[in-house]
Structure 1
Protein backbone atom coordinates (compact mmCIF):
# COMPACT_ATOMS: atom_id res chain seq x y z
CA UNK A 1 0.00 0.00 0.00
CA UNK A 2 1.36 3.41 -0.97
CA UNK A 3 1.86 6.03 1.76
CA UNK A 4 -0.71 8.81 1.90
CA UNK A 5 0.45 12.17 0.60
CA UNK A 6 -0.22 15.42 2.46
CA UNK A 7 -3.09 16.17 0.05
CA UNK A 8 -4.62 12.73 0.65
CA UNK A 9 -4.49 13.24 4.43
CA UNK A 10 -6.06 16.69 4.04
CA UNK A 11 -8.90 15.23 1.95
CA UNK A 12 -9.54 12.56 4.58
CA UNK A 13 -9.67 15.16 7.35
CA UNK A 14 -12.25 17.15 5.38
CA UNK A 15 -14.47 14.03 5.30
CA UNK A 16 -14.39 13.52 9.09
CA UNK A 17 -17.80 14.08 10.65
CA UNK A 18 -18.33 15.03 14.30
CA UNK A 19 -21.17 13.31 16.13
CA UNK A 20 -23.19 14.01 19.24
CA UNK A 21 -22.27 10.57 20.60
CA UNK A 22 -20.01 11.04 23.65
CA UNK A 23 -17.34 8.48 24.56
CA UNK A 24 -18.23 7.16 28.05
CA UNK A 25 -14.53 6.64 28.84
CA UNK A 26 -12.94 9.88 27.69
CA UNK A 27 -15.98 12.18 27.64
CA UNK A 28 -15.30 13.55 24.17
CA UNK A 29 -17.49 13.47 21.03
CA UNK A 30 -16.91 10.54 18.73
CA UNK A 31 -16.18 11.07 15.05
CA UNK A 32 -16.95 9.06 11.96
CA UNK A 33 -15.92 8.69 8.37
CA UNK A 34 -18.70 8.52 5.77
CA UNK A 35 -20.29 5.09 5.90
CA UNK A 36 -18.26 4.00 8.95
CA UNK A 37 -19.26 3.54 12.64
CA UNK A 38 -18.48 6.40 15.02
CA UNK A 39 -15.33 6.03 17.14
CA UNK A 40 -13.41 7.84 19.86
CA UNK A 41 -9.99 9.07 18.76
CA UNK A 42 -8.51 8.45 22.24
CA UNK A 43 -9.85 4.89 22.32
CA UNK A 44 -8.29 4.29 18.91
CA UNK A 45 -4.94 5.59 20.14
CA UNK A 46 -5.11 3.18 23.08
CA UNK A 47 -5.91 0.23 20.81
CA UNK A 48 -2.97 1.08 18.54
CA UNK A 49 -0.66 1.40 21.57
CA UNK A 50 -1.86 -1.96 22.94
CA UNK A 51 -1.28 -3.67 19.58
CA UNK A 52 2.23 -2.22 19.39
CA UNK A 53 2.95 -3.32 22.98
CA UNK A 54 1.72 -6.85 22.23
CA UNK A 55 3.92 -6.99 19.13
CA UNK A 56 6.96 -6.03 21.21
CA UNK A 57 6.11 -8.55 23.96
CA UNK A 58 5.55 -11.33 21.41
CA UNK A 59 8.93 -10.57 19.85
CA UNK A 60 10.62 -10.60 23.27
CA UNK A 61 8.97 -13.92 24.11
CA UNK A 62 10.06 -15.40 20.78
CA UNK A 63 13.69 -14.48 21.30
CA UNK A 64 13.60 -15.52 24.96
CA UNK A 65 12.33 -18.97 23.94
CA UNK A 66 15.00 -19.26 21.23
CA UNK A 67 17.64 -18.61 23.90
CA UNK A 68 16.05 -20.86 26.56
CA UNK A 69 13.33 -23.50 26.23
CA UNK A 70 13.72 -23.96 22.46
CA UNK A 71 17.42 -24.85 22.76
CA UNK A 72 16.73 -28.46 23.82
CA UNK A 73 14.82 -29.35 20.66
CA UNK A 74 16.76 -27.13 18.29
CA UNK A 75 20.40 -27.72 19.24
CA UNK A 76 20.65 -31.12 20.96
CA UNK A 77 22.92 -33.71 19.34
CA UNK A 78 21.82 -37.36 19.47
CA UNK A 79 23.47 -40.48 18.13
CA UNK A 80 20.24 -42.45 18.72
CA UNK A 81 17.10 -40.72 17.44
CA UNK A 82 14.85 -43.10 19.41
CA UNK A 83 16.16 -41.54 22.62
CA UNK A 84 14.40 -38.26 21.81
CA UNK A 85 11.12 -39.77 23.10
CA UNK A 86 12.54 -40.41 26.58
CA UNK A 87 10.61 -39.09 29.59
CA UNK A 88 10.25 -40.02 33.24
CA UNK A 89 6.79 -41.34 32.39
CA UNK A 90 7.94 -43.92 29.83
CA UNK A 91 11.05 -45.11 31.70
CA UNK A 92 10.91 -48.85 32.30
CA UNK A 93 12.15 -49.75 35.76
CA UNK A 94 12.53 -53.53 36.07
CA UNK A 95 13.88 -54.08 39.57
CA UNK A 96 14.47 -52.05 42.71
CA UNK A 97 17.75 -50.49 41.56
CA UNK A 98 16.12 -48.97 38.46
CA UNK A 99 13.20 -47.68 40.55
CA UNK A 100 15.57 -46.14 43.10
CA UNK A 101 17.59 -44.50 40.31
CA UNK A 102 14.40 -43.17 38.72
CA UNK A 103 13.44 -41.56 42.04
CA UNK A 104 16.95 -40.17 42.54
CA UNK A 105 16.94 -38.62 39.05
CA UNK A 106 13.58 -36.96 39.72
CA UNK A 107 14.80 -35.53 43.03
CA UNK A 108 17.96 -34.12 41.45
CA UNK A 109 15.95 -32.67 38.54
CA UNK A 110 13.76 -30.90 41.10
CA UNK A 111 16.88 -29.31 42.61
CA UNK A 112 18.02 -28.13 39.16
CA UNK A 113 14.77 -26.14 38.81
CA UNK A 114 16.51 -23.45 40.89
CA UNK A 115 18.98 -21.52 38.74
CA UNK A 116 21.40 -21.02 41.64
CA UNK A 117 21.73 -24.79 42.28
CA UNK A 118 25.34 -25.58 41.39
CA UNK A 119 26.53 -29.18 41.19
CA UNK A 120 27.24 -31.85 38.59
CA UNK A 121 25.47 -35.21 38.37
CA UNK A 122 27.07 -38.46 37.22
CA UNK A 123 25.23 -41.47 35.78
CA UNK A 124 27.59 -44.43 35.71
CA UNK A 125 27.45 -48.18 35.24
CA UNK A 126 26.76 -50.85 32.71
CA UNK A 127 25.45 -49.95 29.22
CA UNK A 128 21.82 -50.35 28.20
CA UNK A 129 20.37 -49.74 31.66
CA UNK A 130 18.74 -46.37 31.05
CA UNK A 131 21.35 -43.75 32.01
CA UNK A 132 20.79 -41.62 28.90
CA UNK A 133 17.00 -42.03 29.19
CA UNK A 134 16.98 -40.65 32.74
CA UNK A 135 19.45 -37.86 31.91
CA UNK A 136 17.26 -36.61 29.05
CA UNK A 137 14.17 -36.98 31.24
CA UNK A 138 15.79 -34.66 33.77
CA UNK A 139 16.47 -32.08 31.07
CA UNK A 140 12.89 -32.19 29.84
CA UNK A 141 11.53 -31.82 33.37
CA UNK A 142 13.70 -28.76 33.99
CA UNK A 143 12.96 -27.32 30.55
CA UNK A 144 9.21 -27.53 31.18
CA UNK A 145 9.01 -26.64 34.88
CA UNK A 146 11.84 -24.27 35.81
CA UNK A 147 10.72 -21.17 37.72
CA UNK A 148 12.56 -19.05 35.18
CA UNK A 149 13.17 -20.17 31.58
CA UNK A 150 16.40 -22.12 31.21
CA UNK A 151 18.45 -23.34 28.28
CA UNK A 152 18.88 -27.13 28.42
CA UNK A 153 20.97 -29.18 26.00
CA UNK A 154 21.61 -32.88 25.40
CA UNK A 155 24.79 -33.81 23.54
CA UNK A 156 26.29 -37.16 22.60
CA UNK A 157 30.02 -36.71 23.22
CA UNK A 158 31.02 -39.10 20.44
CA UNK A 159 28.74 -37.41 17.89
CA UNK A 160 29.88 -33.97 19.04
CA UNK A 161 33.52 -34.81 18.37
CA UNK A 162 32.64 -36.22 14.95
CA UNK A 163 30.74 -33.07 13.97
CA UNK A 164 33.52 -30.78 15.15
CA UNK A 165 36.11 -32.76 13.19
CA UNK A 166 33.86 -32.68 10.10
CA UNK A 167 33.70 -28.89 10.42
CA UNK A 168 37.43 -28.75 9.62
CA UNK A 169 36.47 -29.48 6.00
CA UNK A 170 34.45 -26.25 5.67
CA UNK A 171 36.19 -23.15 4.39
CA UNK A 172 33.67 -20.82 6.06
CA UNK A 173 32.28 -20.74 9.59
CA UNK A 174 30.50 -23.97 10.48
CA UNK A 175 27.73 -24.28 13.04
CA UNK A 176 29.73 -27.15 14.53
CA UNK A 177 33.08 -25.43 14.69
CA UNK A 178 35.08 -26.02 17.85
CA UNK A 179 34.56 -22.43 18.99
CA UNK A 180 30.81 -22.44 18.33
CA UNK A 181 30.31 -25.72 20.18
CA UNK A 182 32.41 -24.69 23.18
CA UNK A 183 30.49 -21.40 23.39
CA UNK A 184 27.11 -23.12 23.12
CA UNK A 185 27.79 -26.02 25.48
CA UNK A 186 29.75 -23.89 27.90
CA UNK A 187 26.95 -21.38 28.40
CA UNK A 188 23.66 -23.30 28.51
CA UNK A 189 22.01 -23.45 31.93
CA UNK A 190 21.93 -27.24 32.13
CA UNK A 191 23.93 -29.63 29.93
CA UNK A 192 23.98 -33.39 29.46
CA UNK A 193 27.23 -34.86 28.13
CA UNK A 194 26.11 -38.31 27.10
CA UNK A 195 28.28 -41.43 26.97
CA UNK A 196 31.51 -39.78 28.09
CA UNK A 197 34.47 -42.03 27.28
CA UNK A 198 32.92 -43.60 24.20
CA UNK A 199 34.95 -41.29 21.99
CA UNK A 200 38.09 -43.07 23.28
CA UNK A 201 36.79 -46.62 23.49
CA UNK A 202 36.93 -47.07 19.70
CA UNK A 203 40.67 -46.41 19.57
CA UNK A 204 42.82 -49.51 19.12
CA UNK A 205 46.20 -48.31 20.33
CA UNK A 206 45.18 -47.10 23.78
CA UNK A 207 42.24 -45.73 25.73
CA UNK A 208 43.67 -42.33 26.53
CA UNK A 209 41.59 -39.53 25.04
CA UNK A 210 43.35 -37.41 22.44
CA UNK A 211 44.64 -33.97 23.29
CA UNK A 212 42.02 -32.52 20.95
CA UNK A 213 39.14 -34.25 22.77
CA UNK A 214 40.46 -33.24 26.17
CA UNK A 215 40.86 -29.61 25.10
CA UNK A 216 37.29 -29.46 23.78
CA UNK A 217 35.84 -31.05 26.91
CA UNK A 218 37.94 -28.82 29.17
CA UNK A 219 36.80 -25.73 27.27
CA UNK A 220 33.19 -26.77 27.81
CA UNK A 221 33.45 -27.79 31.46
CA UNK A 222 35.93 -25.22 32.75
CA UNK A 223 33.30 -22.55 33.46
CA UNK A 224 30.36 -24.87 34.12
CA UNK A 225 28.86 -25.98 37.43
CA UNK A 226 25.59 -27.57 36.29
CA UNK A 227 26.36 -30.57 34.09
CA UNK A 228 24.89 -34.08 33.91
CA UNK A 229 27.36 -36.71 32.68
CA UNK A 230 26.57 -40.27 31.63
CA UNK A 231 29.32 -42.86 31.22
CA UNK A 232 29.83 -46.60 31.16
CA UNK A 233 33.15 -46.13 32.97
CA UNK A 234 34.04 -46.12 36.65
CA UNK A 235 36.27 -43.60 38.41
CA UNK A 236 39.47 -45.60 37.78
CA UNK A 237 38.72 -45.91 34.06
CA UNK A 238 37.82 -42.22 33.75
CA UNK A 239 41.09 -41.24 35.44
CA UNK A 240 43.01 -43.43 32.99
CA UNK A 241 41.42 -41.67 30.00
CA UNK A 242 41.30 -38.02 31.05
CA UNK A 243 43.83 -35.72 32.70
CA UNK A 244 43.34 -34.68 36.35
CA UNK A 245 42.29 -31.11 35.52
CA UNK A 246 39.44 -32.38 33.35
CA UNK A 247 38.43 -34.99 35.92
CA UNK A 248 38.19 -32.27 38.58
CA UNK A 249 35.79 -30.31 36.33
CA UNK A 250 33.63 -33.41 35.84
CA UNK A 251 33.48 -34.02 39.59
CA UNK A 252 32.36 -30.49 40.59
CA UNK A 253 29.85 -30.86 43.41
CA UNK A 254 29.26 -34.45 42.44
CA UNK A 255 29.09 -35.82 46.01
CA UNK A 256 25.64 -37.30 46.70
CA UNK A 257 24.75 -36.84 43.02
CA UNK A 258 26.03 -40.14 41.60
CA UNK A 259 23.48 -42.55 40.12
CA UNK A 260 24.92 -46.01 39.45
CA UNK A 261 23.55 -48.95 37.49
CA UNK A 262 24.84 -52.48 38.08
CA UNK A 263 23.94 -55.94 36.79
CA UNK A 264 20.97 -55.82 39.17
CA UNK A 265 19.24 -53.91 36.36
CA UNK A 266 18.88 -55.94 33.14
CA UNK A 267 20.23 -54.65 29.84
CA UNK A 268 17.20 -53.22 28.01
CA UNK A 269 18.97 -53.63 24.67
CA UNK A 270 20.07 -57.21 25.31
CA UNK A 271 19.26 -59.89 22.74
CA UNK A 272 19.26 -63.59 23.51
CA UNK A 273 20.36 -66.03 20.80
Structure 2
Protein backbone atom coordinates (compact mmCIF):
# COMPACT_ATOMS: atom_id res chain seq x y z
CA UNK A 1 0.00 0.00 0.00
CA UNK A 2 1.17 3.51 -0.79
CA UNK A 3 0.15 6.21 1.68
CA UNK A 4 0.72 9.96 1.61
CA UNK A 5 1.58 12.13 4.58
CA UNK A 6 0.43 15.68 5.24
CA UNK A 7 4.12 16.45 4.70
CA UNK A 8 3.49 15.47 1.02
CA UNK A 9 5.81 12.44 1.24
CA UNK A 10 4.80 8.92 0.19
CA UNK A 11 5.44 5.73 2.16
CA UNK A 12 4.98 1.96 1.86
CA UNK A 13 5.01 -0.93 4.34
CA UNK A 14 8.74 -1.35 3.74
CA UNK A 15 9.32 2.13 5.17
CA UNK A 16 7.94 0.95 8.51
CA UNK A 17 11.03 -1.24 8.82
CA UNK A 18 13.29 1.81 8.66
CA UNK A 19 13.56 3.58 12.03
CA UNK A 20 14.08 7.04 10.51
CA UNK A 21 11.15 6.67 8.08
CA UNK A 22 8.92 5.34 10.86
CA UNK A 23 9.82 8.30 13.07
CA UNK A 24 8.96 10.62 10.19
CA UNK A 25 5.60 8.89 9.73
CA UNK A 26 4.92 9.27 13.45
CA UNK A 27 5.20 13.05 13.03
CA UNK A 28 2.67 13.45 10.20
CA UNK A 29 -0.91 12.46 9.35
CA UNK A 30 -1.10 9.64 6.79
CA UNK A 31 -3.83 9.03 4.19
CA UNK A 32 -4.50 6.17 1.79
CA UNK A 33 -5.87 6.61 -1.74
CA UNK A 34 -9.45 6.52 -0.41
CA UNK A 35 -8.79 9.53 1.86
CA UNK A 36 -8.87 7.43 5.02
CA UNK A 37 -6.46 8.26 7.82
CA UNK A 38 -4.06 5.36 8.35
CA UNK A 39 -1.56 4.52 11.08
CA UNK A 40 1.61 2.44 10.66
CA UNK A 41 1.61 -0.81 12.62
CA UNK A 42 5.16 -1.88 13.53
CA UNK A 43 4.30 -5.58 13.94
CA UNK A 44 7.35 -7.81 14.55
CA UNK A 45 6.65 -9.98 11.51
CA UNK A 46 3.96 -8.17 9.46
CA UNK A 47 4.45 -4.45 8.93
CA UNK A 48 1.23 -2.83 7.68
CA UNK A 49 -1.03 0.20 7.78
CA UNK A 50 -4.33 0.21 9.64
CA UNK A 51 -7.11 2.39 8.20
CA UNK A 52 -9.32 4.49 10.49
CA UNK A 53 -12.88 5.45 9.58
CA UNK A 54 -14.72 4.76 6.36
CA UNK A 55 -13.51 5.32 2.79
CA UNK A 56 -14.57 8.64 1.30
CA UNK A 57 -17.80 8.38 -0.69
CA UNK A 58 -17.76 12.01 -1.75
CA UNK A 59 -19.35 12.59 -5.14
CA UNK A 60 -19.52 15.89 -6.93
CA UNK A 61 -22.96 17.45 -7.31
CA UNK A 62 -23.00 19.41 -10.55
CA UNK A 63 -20.66 19.65 -13.50
CA UNK A 64 -16.88 19.88 -13.16
CA UNK A 65 -15.60 23.43 -13.41
CA UNK A 66 -15.50 24.92 -16.90
CA UNK A 67 -11.92 25.98 -17.54
CA UNK A 68 -13.19 28.80 -19.76
CA UNK A 69 -14.18 30.84 -16.74
CA UNK A 70 -11.14 30.04 -14.56
CA UNK A 71 -9.64 33.41 -15.49
CA UNK A 72 -12.66 35.17 -14.01
CA UNK A 73 -12.32 33.15 -10.80
CA UNK A 74 -8.62 34.07 -10.56
CA UNK A 75 -9.49 37.71 -11.26
CA UNK A 76 -12.04 37.88 -8.43
CA UNK A 77 -9.82 35.88 -6.08
CA UNK A 78 -6.93 38.28 -6.65
CA UNK A 79 -9.14 41.32 -6.02
CA UNK A 80 -10.68 39.90 -2.85
CA UNK A 81 -7.47 38.50 -1.35
CA UNK A 82 -5.74 41.85 -1.84
CA UNK A 83 -8.71 43.70 -0.34
CA UNK A 84 -8.45 41.92 3.01
CA UNK A 85 -11.39 43.16 5.08
CA UNK A 86 -11.75 46.30 2.97
CA UNK A 87 -14.54 45.21 0.65
CA UNK A 88 -18.29 45.44 0.33
CA UNK A 89 -21.05 43.84 -1.71
CA UNK A 90 -23.51 46.22 -3.36
CA UNK A 91 -26.66 45.57 -5.34
CA UNK A 92 -28.75 47.56 -7.77
CA UNK A 93 -31.93 48.98 -6.20
CA UNK A 94 -34.83 49.99 -8.49
CA UNK A 95 -36.01 53.59 -8.39
CA UNK A 96 -39.29 52.46 -9.94
CA UNK A 97 -42.33 50.58 -8.67
CA UNK A 98 -41.22 47.04 -9.45
CA UNK A 99 -43.53 44.11 -10.08
CA UNK A 100 -42.85 40.59 -11.38
CA UNK A 101 -43.68 40.39 -15.08
CA UNK A 102 -45.94 37.40 -15.70
CA UNK A 103 -44.19 36.38 -18.94
CA UNK A 104 -40.50 36.95 -18.13
CA UNK A 105 -40.78 36.25 -14.38
CA UNK A 106 -38.40 39.17 -13.77
CA UNK A 107 -38.83 42.64 -12.20
CA UNK A 108 -40.52 45.12 -14.51
CA UNK A 109 -41.42 48.79 -14.20
CA UNK A 110 -44.95 50.07 -13.86
CA UNK A 111 -46.41 51.83 -16.86
CA UNK A 112 -44.80 55.22 -17.49
CA UNK A 113 -41.74 54.57 -15.29
CA UNK A 114 -38.21 54.16 -16.66
CA UNK A 115 -36.05 51.32 -15.35
CA UNK A 116 -33.35 53.20 -13.45
CA UNK A 117 -31.33 51.89 -10.53
CA UNK A 118 -29.11 53.09 -7.70
CA UNK A 119 -26.40 51.22 -5.83
CA UNK A 120 -26.81 50.15 -2.21
CA UNK A 121 -24.41 48.15 0.02
CA UNK A 122 -25.91 44.93 1.38
CA UNK A 123 -22.71 43.77 3.09
CA UNK A 124 -19.65 45.52 4.52
CA UNK A 125 -16.71 43.48 5.76
CA UNK A 126 -15.88 44.47 9.33
CA UNK A 127 -12.25 45.16 10.20
CA UNK A 128 -10.80 42.19 12.05
CA UNK A 129 -13.07 39.64 10.33
CA UNK A 130 -10.00 38.19 8.59
CA UNK A 131 -11.78 37.02 5.44
CA UNK A 132 -9.98 34.20 3.62
CA UNK A 133 -10.79 32.92 0.13
CA UNK A 134 -10.85 29.36 -1.15
CA UNK A 135 -11.06 27.68 -4.57
CA UNK A 136 -10.94 24.13 -5.92
CA UNK A 137 -11.07 21.27 -3.36
CA UNK A 138 -10.58 23.81 -0.54
CA UNK A 139 -13.97 25.32 -1.46
CA UNK A 140 -15.91 22.05 -1.11
CA UNK A 141 -18.96 21.66 1.10
CA UNK A 142 -19.48 18.00 2.08
CA UNK A 143 -22.94 16.60 2.91
CA UNK A 144 -23.93 13.61 5.10
CA UNK A 145 -24.81 11.47 2.07
CA UNK A 146 -21.21 11.77 0.85
CA UNK A 147 -21.98 14.23 -1.94
CA UNK A 148 -20.38 17.66 -2.18
CA UNK A 149 -20.49 20.87 -4.15
CA UNK A 150 -17.38 22.77 -5.19
CA UNK A 151 -18.22 26.41 -5.76
CA UNK A 152 -15.99 28.66 -7.84
CA UNK A 153 -14.88 30.96 -5.01
CA UNK A 154 -15.77 30.90 -1.31
CA UNK A 155 -14.98 33.38 1.45
CA UNK A 156 -15.11 32.92 5.20
CA UNK A 157 -14.49 35.23 8.16
CA UNK A 158 -11.87 33.16 9.96
CA UNK A 159 -12.02 35.34 13.08
CA UNK A 160 -15.23 33.50 14.07
CA UNK A 161 -15.98 29.79 14.27
CA UNK A 162 -19.30 29.99 12.43
CA UNK A 163 -20.95 32.41 9.97
CA UNK A 164 -23.12 35.19 11.37
CA UNK A 165 -25.34 37.86 9.85
CA UNK A 166 -22.52 40.42 10.20
CA UNK A 167 -19.80 37.98 9.09
CA UNK A 168 -21.46 35.64 6.59
CA UNK A 169 -19.84 33.06 4.41
CA UNK A 170 -19.72 34.19 0.78
CA UNK A 171 -20.12 31.83 -2.18
CA UNK A 172 -19.52 33.07 -5.73
CA UNK A 173 -20.75 31.05 -8.70
CA UNK A 174 -19.37 32.29 -12.03
CA UNK A 175 -21.86 31.67 -14.86
CA UNK A 176 -20.65 31.71 -18.43
CA UNK A 177 -21.79 28.76 -20.56
CA UNK A 178 -24.42 27.30 -18.22
CA UNK A 179 -26.07 27.98 -14.86
CA UNK A 180 -25.90 25.52 -11.91
CA UNK A 181 -27.67 22.19 -12.37
CA UNK A 182 -30.65 21.22 -10.22
CA UNK A 183 -28.75 19.41 -7.44
CA UNK A 184 -26.17 22.18 -7.12
CA UNK A 185 -28.81 24.91 -7.04
CA UNK A 186 -30.74 23.11 -4.30
CA UNK A 187 -27.55 22.87 -2.22
CA UNK A 188 -26.89 26.58 -2.77
CA UNK A 189 -30.42 27.46 -1.64
CA UNK A 190 -29.90 25.47 1.57
CA UNK A 191 -26.51 27.10 2.16
CA UNK A 192 -28.04 30.56 1.80
CA UNK A 193 -30.38 29.81 4.71
CA UNK A 194 -27.40 29.57 7.05
CA UNK A 195 -25.81 33.03 6.93
CA UNK A 196 -24.26 32.39 3.52
CA UNK A 197 -24.48 35.00 0.76
CA UNK A 198 -24.63 33.18 -2.61
CA UNK A 199 -23.71 35.43 -5.55
CA UNK A 200 -24.18 34.62 -9.24
CA UNK A 201 -21.49 36.39 -11.28
CA UNK A 202 -22.39 36.40 -14.99
CA UNK A 203 -19.82 36.91 -17.74
CA UNK A 204 -20.21 36.85 -21.56
CA UNK A 205 -20.05 33.39 -23.10
CA UNK A 206 -18.65 34.52 -26.45
CA UNK A 207 -15.97 36.86 -25.13
CA UNK A 208 -12.75 35.17 -24.01
CA UNK A 209 -11.31 38.40 -22.61
CA UNK A 210 -14.08 39.77 -20.43
CA UNK A 211 -14.30 38.83 -16.75
CA UNK A 212 -17.21 41.19 -15.98
CA UNK A 213 -20.56 42.16 -17.47
CA UNK A 214 -23.28 44.79 -17.12
CA UNK A 215 -24.81 42.64 -14.36
CA UNK A 216 -21.77 42.53 -12.07
CA UNK A 217 -18.33 44.09 -11.62
CA UNK A 218 -15.43 44.24 -9.19
CA UNK A 219 -14.93 47.95 -8.70
CA UNK A 220 -12.08 49.47 -6.68
CA UNK A 221 -13.07 52.73 -4.96
CA UNK A 222 -11.95 53.67 -1.44
CA UNK A 223 -12.55 49.94 -0.82
CA UNK A 224 -13.29 47.04 -3.14
CA UNK A 225 -16.91 47.06 -4.28
CA UNK A 226 -18.36 43.83 -5.64
CA UNK A 227 -21.47 44.78 -7.62
CA UNK A 228 -24.03 42.02 -8.15
CA UNK A 229 -27.51 41.69 -9.63
CA UNK A 230 -28.49 38.06 -8.92
CA UNK A 231 -28.08 36.33 -5.57
CA UNK A 232 -29.58 34.08 -2.90
CA UNK A 233 -30.21 35.33 0.62
CA UNK A 234 -32.05 33.35 3.33
CA UNK A 235 -33.21 30.85 0.72
CA UNK A 236 -34.77 33.57 -1.45
CA UNK A 237 -33.74 34.49 -5.00
CA UNK A 238 -33.19 38.16 -5.86
CA UNK A 239 -32.68 40.25 -8.95
CA UNK A 240 -31.54 43.79 -8.18
CA UNK A 241 -32.94 43.84 -4.61
CA UNK A 242 -36.31 42.51 -5.81
CA UNK A 243 -37.33 39.10 -4.49
CA UNK A 244 -38.58 36.81 -7.25
CA UNK A 245 -40.98 34.49 -5.40
CA UNK A 246 -41.18 30.76 -6.10
CA UNK A 247 -44.11 30.03 -8.39
CA UNK A 248 -43.49 26.33 -9.03
CA UNK A 249 -45.57 23.53 -7.55
CA UNK A 250 -42.40 21.63 -6.54
CA UNK A 251 -38.65 22.21 -6.31
CA UNK A 252 -37.97 21.03 -9.86
CA UNK A 253 -40.50 23.57 -11.15
CA UNK A 254 -38.88 26.29 -9.03
CA UNK A 255 -35.53 25.42 -10.59
CA UNK A 256 -37.02 25.71 -14.08
CA UNK A 257 -38.47 29.08 -13.12
CA UNK A 258 -35.40 30.67 -11.50
CA UNK A 259 -32.46 28.94 -13.17
CA UNK A 260 -33.58 27.65 -16.56
CA UNK A 261 -35.77 30.74 -16.86
CA UNK A 262 -34.15 33.78 -15.22
CA UNK A 263 -30.45 32.89 -14.95
CA UNK A 264 -30.24 31.19 -18.32
CA UNK A 265 -31.98 34.13 -19.97
CA UNK A 266 -29.71 36.78 -18.48
CA UNK A 267 -26.66 34.59 -19.18
CA UNK A 268 -27.39 34.97 -22.89
CA UNK A 269 -27.80 38.75 -22.41
CA UNK A 270 -24.42 39.22 -20.71
CA UNK A 271 -22.16 41.77 -22.44
CA UNK A 272 -18.72 43.05 -21.55
CA UNK A 273 -18.78 46.50 -19.87
CA UNK A 274 -17.40 48.12 -23.04
CA UNK A 275 -20.00 46.45 -25.27
CA UNK A 276 -22.74 47.43 -22.87
CA UNK A 277 -21.61 51.07 -22.82
CA UNK A 278 -21.61 51.12 -26.64
CA UNK A 279 -25.17 49.83 -26.84
CA UNK A 280 -26.55 51.31 -23.62
CA UNK A 281 -28.74 53.85 -25.35
CA UNK A 282 -30.66 51.02 -27.03
CA UNK A 283 -31.34 49.19 -23.74
CA UNK A 284 -34.60 49.73 -21.90
CA UNK A 285 -32.79 49.17 -18.59
CA UNK A 286 -30.48 52.06 -17.72
CA UNK A 287 -28.48 52.39 -14.50
CA UNK A 288 -28.22 55.94 -13.11
CA UNK A 289 -25.05 57.65 -14.31
CA UNK A 290 -23.66 57.97 -10.80
CA UNK A 291 -23.98 54.23 -10.25
CA UNK A 292 -22.70 53.07 -13.63
CA UNK A 293 -19.90 55.55 -14.29
CA UNK A 294 -16.73 53.50 -15.05
Indicate the TM-score class for this superposition, using the shorter chain for normalisation.
under 0.3
TM-score (norm: length of structure 2): 0.24
Computing the radius of gyration over CA atoms, which structure comes out larger, 1 or 2?
1
Report which of the two has the higher share of strand: 2
Higher relative contact order (CA 8 A, sep 6+): 1
Report which of the two has the higher share of helix: 1
